[in-house]
Chain A
Amino acid sequence: MVSYRSMEKVQRVLLYIVVIVLGFLFIFPFLWMALSSLKTSKEVLAIPIRFFPTVWNWQSYVNVFTMFPDFNFPRFILNSFIVTGTAVLLCLFFSATAGYGFAKYRFKGNNLLFTIVLATIMITFEAIIVPLYILVRQLGMNNTYWGLIIPESLTAFGVFMMRQFFYALPDDFLESARIDGANEYVIFARIGIPMAKTALLALVIFHAQWVWNLLLWPMILISNPNLRVLPQGIALFKGGYNTPYPEQLAVSVIACLPLVLLYIFLSKYFVQGITMTGLKG
Chain B
Amino acid sequence: MRKASYSVTGLQRYGYVFILPTLVFFTIFLIYPMFSAFRFSFFEWNLLKPKVFIGLQNFLKMVQDPRVLNSFVRTLHFSGISVAAINIVAFVFALVFSSRLLGWKNFWQSLIFLPVVLSVVAVGVVWEFMYQSTGLIPVLLRKIVGMSPPWLTNTKAAPYAMINVYVWKSVGYYMVIYIAGLLDVPSSFYEAARIDGAGFWGQLWYITIPSLKNTIALAVVSCVIFTFGQFAIQFVITKGGPSRSTEIMAILIYRQAFELSKFGYSAAISVLFFLTMMVFSLIQLRLFKSGAVGA
Contact = CB atoms under 8 A, between A and B. Distances in A.
Direct contact of A and B (CB under 8 A): yes
Contact of B257 (A126, A135, A231): A126
B21 A94 contact: yes
B123 A274 contact: no
A231 B26 contact: no
Contacts of B130: 29, 32
Interface in B198-228: 212-218, 222, 225, 228
A234 interface: yes
Interface in B219-254: 222, 225, 228-229, 231-232, 250, 253-254
Contacts of A22: 93, 96, 111-112
Contact of A131 (B37, B110, B231, B253): B37
Given A114-B294, A127-B34, A274-B176, A30 B118 contact: yes
B123 A281 contact: no
A280 B177 contact: yes
A128 B33 contact: yes
A38 interface: no
Given A101-B18, A127-B267, A248-B125, A280 B181 contact: yes
Interface string A114-126: 1111111111111
Majority SS at the chain A contact face: helix
A259 B123 contact: no
Majority SS at the chain B contact face: helix
A275 B123 contact: no
The residue in A153, A178, A279 that gathers the most chain B C-beta atoms within 10 A of its C-beta is A279
Given A29-B123, A188-B18, A124 B229 contact: yes
Nearest to B101: A12
Given A127-B267, A263-B110, A15 B136 contact: no
Interface stretch (B56-64, B80-88, B272-280): B272-280
Interface residues of B, number: 103
Given A209-B117, A280-B177, A184 B11 contact: yes
Given A131-B37, A171-B1, A260 B114 contact: yes
Contacts, number: 279
Interface in A71-120: 93-95, 97-98, 100-102, 104-107, 110-111, 113-120
B116 A209 contact: yes
A165 interface: no
Given A128-B33, A213-B119, A94 B231 contact: no
B135 A124 contact: no
B101 A154 contact: no
Interface of A: 8, 11-12, 15-16, 18-19, 22-24, 26-27, 29-30, 32-33, 36, 44, 47-49, 93-95, 97-98, 100-102, 104-107, 110-111, 113-132, 134-135, 150-151, 153-154, 156-157, 159, 164, 167, 171, 178, 184, 188, 205, 209, 212-213, 215-216, 231, 234-235, 245, 248-249, 252-253, 255-256, 259-260, 262-264, 267-268, 270-271, 274-275, 279-281
5 contacts: A15-B96, A98-B21, A252-B119, A262-B117, A275-B184
Given A127-B266, A248-B125, A275-B184, 16 more contacts: A12-B101, A15-B99, A24-B111, A26-B172, A44-B129, A98-B21, A101-B17, A106-B6, A122-B277, A122-B281, A124-B250, A135-B29, A164-B292, A260-B117, A281-B216, A281-B292
